Amino acid sequence: MTNDLKRLADIVVDWTGTDIDNLLRSSPGTDQATQEFIRCLTWTLAQDPEARRLLGRLLEDEFRS
């Protein structure tokens, strides 16, 4: 996991108070867990400029690879 990815994950957890690991473990592969994760991510991105910058860098890296 890259530092940007780790940092973004930390920010999501900090902003939402959601234990992402527990969420995904408690109902792996379910629509509910996936939707909740996406809600947490999008809410965090709307709140935090650093999260948006990190996601932008991750997207740029992915496009390059």
* Domain count for the chain: 1
Q: Which residues contact 46 (CB under 8 A, 6 or more apart)?
A: none
User: Where residue 61 falls among pLDDT bands split at 50, 70, 90?
Assistant: very high
Encode pLDDT of 8-55 as tens digits.
Answer: 988 988 888 877 777 777 766 677 778 888 898 999 999 999 999 999
Q: Structure pTM?
A: 0.77
Structural domain including 36 reads 3-64
Burial of residue 8, with CB atoms counted within 10 A of its CB: 0-12 exposed, 13-18 middle, 19 or more buried: buried
Residue with the two structure tokens 């991510």: 41
